[in-house]
Structure 1
Amino acid sequence: MGRSAEHVYTDSNAIQALEALVRELPTNGHVRLLLKDGATCEGIIVERPNVQLYQNAEAQEGINGEVRLERPDRPDWHRWVWLDDIARVEHLDSTMGSEC
């Protein structure tokens, strides 16, 4: 397995929470992510993320996911954010109504 993550989840409640978060992250959505460490990150979602199988440092397999943000005003900028690092999503546009 080539995909590794610091944190992976096997508990069904944790996986359902990650899946619910995915539904809040539509392709081309303009969002501000409030992270669990208190930081924020704003950008356009390149593609709706998926939960996937990863392996942690202890070789335990579990679920996590990443979302990639870009900013049109800074073409060389992008950021990957782990789904489990997100505390809250603020939608800065109306894309949630257009993608179901």
Structure 2
Amino acid sequence: MSRIAPRIHTNPADIAQLEALLPQLKGQTQVEVTLKDGRRLPGTVAVQPTVQQYRDAEENEGSNGQLRLDDLDAPVQQHVLWLDEISAIRQLPPVE
């Protein structure tokens, strides 16, 4: 069974942009993610995401990835974000 993504990417430059996010999203890193819609979500990266193959609603195949971010203020709340929704990542200092 293949996975479905709301958007897939086949252009090598777009895929490279997704892959460029990965080193900033190492597991257990605390970050503030800014989304393309302007929202900012502070949290802890649960597991480093990967760029994978998905299909869109029309059955076209391409790349995207998902980030699971545990909310910094309410760690039981998880955000699952598509990598192509992210416009910026800022590393946060560790919470003591």
TM-score (norm. length: structure 2):
0.90
- After superposition, where does 1:9-88 map in structure 2 within 5 Å? 9-71=9-71, 73-88=73-88
Runs of 4+ in 1 over 3 A off after TM superposition: none
Specify every segment of 5 or more residues in structure 2 that has no aligned partner in the other structure, as ranges.
none
Please say if residues 24 and 89 of structure 2, whose CA atoms lie closer than 8 Å, have aligned partners that are also in contact.
Answer: yes
Match of 1:92 in 2: 92
Give the CA deviation at 1:75: 4.0
Aligned residues: 94
Q: Secondary structure at the match of 1:21?
A: helix
User: Which deviates more, 56-65 or 85-94?
Assistant: 85-94
CA deviation digits over 1:52-86, x for unaligned, max 9? Answer: 00000111000000110113652421110110000
* In 2: Cα distance, 1:84 partner to 1:54 partner: 13
- The one-letter code sitting in structure 1 at the alignment partner of 2:8 is V
Identity of aligned residues (%): 37
Q: Secondary structure at the match of 1:50?
A: coil
Please say if residues 29 and 93 of structure 1, whose CA atoms lie closer than 8 Å, have aligned partners that are also in contact.
Answer: no
